[in-house]
Structure 1
Amino acid sequence: MERNLRKSFWVIMFSLVLTFVSCSEEKGPTPLENNPNGPGMVENITIENLSGKVKLTYELPDNQDLLYVKANYKLENGTEMEVKSSYYNNSMLLEGFAGGKEVNVKVTAVNRSEKSSVAKDITVSPLLAPIYGVFNSLETSVDFGGIRIKASNPTKENIALLVMTKNNTGDWEALRNSIYTSTDIINKNVRANAGSFESKPTQFAIVVRDRWLNVTDTLFTEITPLFEEKIPVSNYRPLRLDNDPASYPENRVEYLWDSQFGWPRVWVTLRSNPVPKHTVTMDMGTSARISRIHIWDYLEGGNYYYLGSMRKFRIWGIDSTPNQSGSLAGWTLLGDYTAVKPSGLPYGQQNNEDFLTAQAGVDYETRSDVNVRYIRIECLESWDGNSYMALSELLIYGKVN
């Protein structure tokens, strides 16, 4: 009996030692296979130099346990890059180059035991990155309260047009409302962080940057923004003309300038209303030449560019008291617009740029050579293909007479 107990004691102790050793040697996940020999080299690499990119096409080594091919390289700005491509593919795309210089790349095959082949050294010569084409297409001009920037981005790259002005200490500082986009045609007014720039000579500096932090040279320009002010909201009044459609009972026209967003403090007309084109009319309370109307669409269930938000619409203005019938005779067309979803995604879909653009509201520039006091917005087509309208807020800018 004593011998059995002694034997059991040593069995238990031996098991504990094995357990301790096993635990102490555990080093996390390890390859399922243990082939100490690396695969053969990647051969016959074909190099296609593209704008800011390089496409590699190659022959895979004949190894049963090949897992992937990887390329290691350093961008011109010093960033270390590694790209992997499955053994199912015989090509890979290397991105992030500024371009215009030769770059060394190491191409390696790796097996399922994470053993690498001898690296194949190649030299690539990517063409200049798309940001340089965008930079070369830059056009600037004077605009109300700011600077107008136009540029072409034909490959729809994710880029930033950083617009800088000098701060109080004389240093260049990027405006918070610089342009971040992936659209092909860029046409935007950039104003001061706190609103409009003063109508005095102002120096601007503009650079184009991509998501790999490649940056172009700087475009310097001096512009005197056109004078612009916000038409005082305290003077706004609703004006109901005979053919203006009914809204939901909870909504009021004056909610369009109360600085509150979300139901019910919005303006949404009834879809069932028989009027072919839905309108809303307001009195600014003063005669002015207006430069733009800033419109915030109604956020419906987390979606913009949706349901009754206006996709195609017109803005009208008149200085004298309008005809109560709602006839547009005597009104001046201030602008004909089509709202644009930056991503171009199908109806009901939006990306982050779409959401942020709509959340910030959109400026719709107007004809500014006529005096107007009354404003009428006419919805031609909502995003769901009807003509009812859904608006959250609006503000009007220009110069009071």
Structure 2
Amino acid sequence: MNAIYKRYWLLLPAILLLVIQLACKKTDGYNEVISTDKTKPSPVTNIKVTNFSGGAYISYSLPDSKNLLYVQAEYKINDTRSRQSKTSFYSDTIMVSGFAKSQDYEVTLYTVTRADVKSDPVTVKVHPDTPAYLLAKPTVVLTNDFGGVNISVQNKAHADIGVILIAPDKSTRKLEIVNQHYTNQEAISYSLRGYDTIPTQFGVYITDSWDNRSDTVYATIKPLYEVQMDKSKFQPYTLPSDVGTDFQWYLPYLWDNKTGAPGFHTPYGNFLPKWMSFDMGQAARLSRYTIWYRGVEGSAAYLWGAGAPQTWVLWGRADQPVDENMPDTTGLPPVGQPTANGWINMGVFHLPAKPSGLPFPQYTGDDLAYWNGGFNFNFALTVPKVRYLRFECVTNASGTNDFFNIMEISLYGDTR
């Protein structure tokens, strides 16, 4: 070994020991008091309050002290829960939030130094405007739906709220939580199904991020009758303007009770909108449907991409179909109303967004589970009975808009 390298090799243990000692010394420094000045700071002055829904902004003048670190607010948001807010000395405003009602609340303010010394308290009253969860509560509407109940709520503040549904437990018959729906959407509407067609009492209350809870809205609901349409009766009903198929992915694969390949696939180069038609074999007042798209096959992932329909229109009719070129999403008749040749607009539908928001082809495990579970869509209660359906794809998820594919579809409704 070269003499110079040998010398460095012998010094290496000492160098490592020095590095370790320095690292330990730096770590110990985090536990030291950042100031030894124990002088009590002066409190804030010139306090002003600006209330908002569920909270308030409190502005103030800071004392002239280089030792000041932050301002702290302590307050109760309801009868049982207290909160604490902090803001640095760089700001002259602190926000307090989470209040349960629109009423007077006391907030105690302190200035705090780098030596963790508090000033004398200063108490200020705030009177927040009505919090978002209480604004949402009067908008709760419970209506009967196929196989269950529909819940609609208006959340104009786009606040984070929880819509909590209660119903009788099948064993105890006591009202228990059966569904919790958390969202910040403005227009909330969803259905809970699996109930018999007998009058059932349901209740809904609204919560917020601080566990505040509204009173409960009750309603006795008689769910509408619903069954899954018998796929053994489905068959193609191809009309002259219908799009063709390719790759031996034929229309009947849409109802073979398999969500994997093959499915239905149009040829490439057929620029959208394009449509295909089929016969359910019996008329029904349709309530909803579930649709599955091409997912992960080998090393390829088609989630939120490729030929997955992005926007589509469903058409239906009870009488024998007459062919026509279907309008796209412009110039449609109202939902439940027919075109000139009798195709009834059953609704315009859109592919739900990817939960993670990642760009194609990236996805998470939650994204994949959401995709593989199929997407559920409701029909308006105003649509009449139909037997024949026409699926019109207007755009696809990849944006090429020259083909589309679907793996499986299940439909539900009242066949009586």
**TM-score normalised to the size of structure 2?**
0.74
Equivalent positions of 1:199-278 (< 5 A) are 199-237=197-235, 243-245=241-243, 249=247, 251=249, 253-257=251-255, 261=259, 264=261, 267=264, 269=266, 272-278=268-274
Look up the match of 2:34.
32
1:331 Cα offset (Å): 5.1
Look up the match of 2:280.
284
Q: Which of 294, 303, 314 is equivalent to 2:290?
A: 294
- The one-letter code of the counterpart of 1:314 is V
CA shift digits 1:341-397 (9 cap, x unpaired): 589999959999999987562323156654433322101233555544354543211
SS class of match (1:378) = strand
Q: Are the aligned partners of 1:158 and 1:182 in contact in 2 as well (CA < 8 Å)? A: yes
Look up the match of 1:113.
115
- The one-letter code of the counterpart of 2:377 is D
1:289 Cα offset (Å): 2.5
1:90 Cα offset (Å): 1.5
Equivalent positions of 1:1-400 (< 5 A) are 29-167=31-169, 168-176=171-179, 178-188=180-190, 190-192=191-193, 195=194, 197-237=195-235, 243-245=241-243, 249=247, 251=249, 253-257=251-255, 261=259, 264=261, 267=264, 269=266, 272-296=268-292, 308-319=307-318, 322=321, 330=341, 332-339=343-350, 348=359, 361-366=375-380, 370-383=384-397, 385=399, 387=401, 388-400=403-415
Q: Are the aligned partners of 2:272 and 2:395 in contact in 1 as well (CA < 8 Å)? A: no
In the alignment, the residues of structure 2 paired with residue 77 and residue 311 of structure 1 have an alpha-carbon distance, to the nearest angstrom, of: 48
1:207 Cα offset (Å): 0.8
SS class of match (2:134) = helix
CA shift digits 1:266-309 (9 cap, x unpaired): 55545x42343132433323332212223355568989765644
CA shift digits 1:105-162 (9 cap, x unpaired): 2212223333332222222222221111111122232322222333221111111221
- The one-letter code of the counterpart of 2:346 is G
- The one-letter code of the counterpart of 1:66 is L
CA shift digits 1:50-82 (9 cap, x unpaired): 211111112222222322222122220522312
Greater shift in the superposed pair: 108-117 or 359-368: 359-368
Greater shift in the superposed pair: 159-168 or 389-398: 389-398
SS class of match (1:134) = helix
- The one-letter code of the counterpart of 1:362 is N
Look up the match of 2:330.
none
Q: Are the aligned partners of 2:309 and 2:351 in contact in 1 as well (CA < 8 Å)? A: no
In the alignment, the residues of structure 1 paired with residue 75 and residue 217 of structure 2 have an alpha-carbon distance, to the nearest angstrom, of: 30
In the alignment, the residues of structure 1 paired with residue 215 and residue 364 of structure 2 have an alpha-carbon distance, to the nearest angstrom, of: 30
Q: Are the aligned partners of 2:315 and 2:347 in contact in 1 as well (CA < 8 Å)? A: no
Percent identity over paired residues = 24
- Taking structure 1 as reference, are residues 352 and 81 closer, same or farther at Cα in structure 2, changes over 3 Å only? farther
In the alignment, the residues of structure 2 paired with residue 113 and residue 317 of structure 1 have an alpha-carbon distance, to the nearest angstrom, of: 74
Greater shift in the superposed pair: 277-286 or 104-113: 277-286
- Taking structure 1 as reference, are residues 398 and 30 closer, same or farther at Cα in structure 2, changes over 3 Å only? same
- The one-letter code of the counterpart of 2:192 is R
In the alignment, the residues of structure 1 paired with residue 143 and residue 270 of structure 2 have an alpha-carbon distance, to the nearest angstrom, of: 44
In the alignment, the residues of structure 2 paired with residue 143 and residue 191 of structure 1 have an alpha-carbon distance, to the nearest angstrom, of: 8
Q: Are the aligned partners of 1:182 and 1:342 in contact in 2 as well (CA < 8 Å)? A: no
**TM-score normalised to the size of structure 1?**
0.77
- The one-letter code of the counterpart of 1:333 is I
CA shift digits 1:173-231 (9 cap, x unpaired): 2223x43321112233x223xx3x22221111111111211111111111212211111
In the alignment, the residues of structure 2 paired with residue 377 and residue 166 of structure 1 have an alpha-carbon distance, to the nearest angstrom, of: 39
Greater shift in the superposed pair: 140-149 or 291-300: 291-300
In the alignment, the residues of structure 2 paired with residue 363 and residue 138 of structure 1 have an alpha-carbon distance, to the nearest angstrom, of: 21
Greater shift in the superposed pair: 362-371 or 125-134: 362-371
Look up the match of 1:3.
none
Greater shift in the superposed pair: 220-229 or 289-298: 289-298
Greater shift in the superposed pair: 239-248 or 139-148: 239-248
SS class of match (2:47) = strand
In the alignment, the residues of structure 2 paired with residue 72 and residue 108 of structure 1 have an alpha-carbon distance, to the nearest angstrom, of: 9
- Taking structure 1 as reference, are residues 133 and 64 closer, same or farther at Cα in structure 2, changes over 3 Å only? same
- Taking structure 1 as reference, are residues 185 and 369 closer, same or farther at Cα in structure 2, changes over 3 Å only? closer
SS class of match (2:137) = helix
- The one-letter code of the counterpart of 2:148 is G
In the alignment, the residues of structure 2 paired with residue 340 and residue 346 of structure 1 have an alpha-carbon distance, to the nearest angstrom, of: 13
In the alignment, the residues of structure 2 paired with residue 389 and residue 137 of structure 1 have an alpha-carbon distance, to the nearest angstrom, of: 39
- Taking structure 1 as reference, are residues 317 and 368 closer, same or farther at Cα in structure 2, changes over 3 Å only? same
Q: Are the aligned partners of 1:334 and 1:367 in contact in 2 as well (CA < 8 Å)? A: no
- Taking structure 1 as reference, are residues 107 and 383 closer, same or farther at Cα in structure 2, changes over 3 Å only? farther
In the alignment, the residues of structure 2 paired with residue 319 and residue 103 of structure 1 have an alpha-carbon distance, to the nearest angstrom, of: 62
- Taking structure 1 as reference, are residues 260 and 49 closer, same or farther at Cα in structure 2, changes over 3 Å only? farther
How many residues of Structure 1 are paired with residues of Structure 2 in the alignment?
371
Look up the match of 1:10.
none
Root mean square deviation, CA, Å:
3.9
